Structure 1
């Protein structure tokens, strides 16, 4: 395309004046986007028209217009003045800004939607992972519960009630002793939460002579919901007791903090 010939054709002046058809105006607009030279020429034409319009609006120019009439020998005849339409470029500029704004808002909305979608996907994945974990825990808990029920229902299990002692008379616990597996199940639901810095310690006792053997501390007592604990016990226990000790446990039971005590029943 010969840009110079196109500019010299006068179509750009008609474009600025708004004298072109909608289709022709669109063609000029498309060429402006493709060729900076055409865009620059339109801007210059528009600038010139604006200057002429501003100059014509000045009161001091009225006499000049009269002199021009006189020179043309028009007398007092009515002169038809062709009104120049507002610049199409202004309209296109505003349209361009509006289009840019719409595109920008569209991009912003799309980015937000993408972020929301990513967030939703992440949340779903987290919830799925959590649900899977809960299912596994439920299965594990169910298996543990069935195992515990089987233990408690075993006719060879020895049940040892532990009664509250001294200042802790309202407390209670129960030991289920499975000699075949050298383990006990301690139901400590009747004990209060351990104070800060303290833990419950379980003891296996022989009575003659009185000899305590530690079965360990229950460090997770406060956080365990069911308060049932499996503890290894390979001792020939004659009694079981629970004391409250400093964190880490003690080598021997603190008798002032003896919460519960129970003697294993003798044979039939």
Structure 2
């Protein structure tokens, strides 16, 4: 048990109230000797109890000894008969005040602790609600995007061009869906490996005779994009498409030694 947990356990209040066994009281005393924080907490609790008790203990001047002395017409020279009272009833109110203060203090500590727990639970619930709302919005967005892609891929006017792996990476593959009406392509690059640090994939539109490459741009968000489908503008009369690995920022012309995939547009 940590010092914080020990302080919050309520054992210090019971110690002050005298409600612990001798062994338990000795343990609290030893903890007070070892840890100044616990000693200070005991002093703070005692101070609070004294302040609370003062409100219920009679402190009116009419209860002072001098006042009672005058009422009884006692003088300093007169012999006073002393009556021994074994159990003074007047102290009952003082003890009641101490007990009430102890229970009130313990109740306040419990309330503060429970209020702190409740506040923490409310904050967690609010965070979970915001996270759930965010996930719902993302799911809606993903669903709408998926439905859009399905519609595009099923469009009979879309030209589908498979891109096969080349010498540097025979296992690589990709696919281009060319929408000539919107002058754009959808590139499915799921079959490409993750590019090394400082490198990016660059997409090319090719004319074959003579070989004329035109850059369609780099895929800078390849790693962060989960579905690996990219919408790219293409105003060219393409005869083939290729993907090379280039330095970050792209190249003016394709590095043929880093050609990962290539595919020609079917003429049939």
Unpaired runs of at least 5, structure 2: 1-52, 66-82
Query: What residue in structure 1 maps to residue 151 of structure 2?
Result: 150
Deviation at 1:223, TM superposition (A): 1.9
Q: 1:214 to 1:102 in 2, by over 3 A?
A: farther
Provide, for residues 168-215 of structure 1, a one-character-per-residue CA deviation record: whole Å limited to 9, x for no partner: 001100011111111111111111111122211111111122222221
Three-state SS of the structure 2 residue aligned to 1:166 is coil
1:32-111 matches, within 5 Å, as: 33=57, 35-37=59-61, 84-85=86-87, 89=91, 93=94, 95-111=96-112
Query: What residue in structure 1 maps to residue 24 of structure 2?
Result: none
Query: What residue in structure 2 maps to residue 199 of structure 1?
Result: 200
Query: What residue in structure 1 maps to residue 248 of structure 2?
Result: 247
1:7-22 matches, within 5 Å, as: none
Q: In 1, are the aligned partners of 2:173 and 2:261 still within 8 Å (CA)?
A: yes
- Asked if 1:112 corresponds to 2:113, the answer is yes
Q: Distance in 2 between matches of 1:39 and 1:214?
A: 101
Three-state SS of the structure 1 residue aligned to 2:205 is strand
Query: What residue in structure 1 maps to residue 232 of structure 2?
Result: 231
Bigger fraction of residues in helix: 1
Q: 1:220 to 1:98 in 2, by over 3 A?
A: farther
- Between the two proteins, the alignment pairs up a number of residues equal to 202
TM-score (norm 1): 0.67
Deviation at 1:93, TM superposition (A): 4.8
Q: In 1, are the aligned partners of 2:57 and 2:94 still within 8 Å (CA)?
A: no
Q: 1:99 to 1:246 in 2, by over 3 A?
A: farther
Provide, for residues 64-88 of structure 1, a one-character-per-residue CA deviation record: whole Å limited to 9, x for no partner: xxxxxxxxxxxxxxxxx95622675
Q: 1:32 to 1:160 in 2, by over 3 A?
A: closer
Q: In 2, are the aligned partners of 1:245 and 1:254 still within 8 Å (CA)?
A: yes
Task: Kindly name which structure, 1 or 2, has the bigger radius of gyration based on alpha carbons.
Answer: 1
Query: What residue in structure 1 maps to residue 125 of structure 2?
Result: 124
Three-state SS of the structure 1 residue aligned to 2:213 is strand
Q: 1:39 to 1:186 in 2, by over 3 A?
A: farther
1:179-218 matches, within 5 Å, as: 179-218=180-219
Provide, for residues 117-174 of structure 1, a one-character-per-residue CA deviation record: whole Å limited to 9, x for no partner: 2222222222212212211211111111111011000111101111111120011000
Query: What residue in structure 2 maps to residue 44 of structure 1?
Result: none
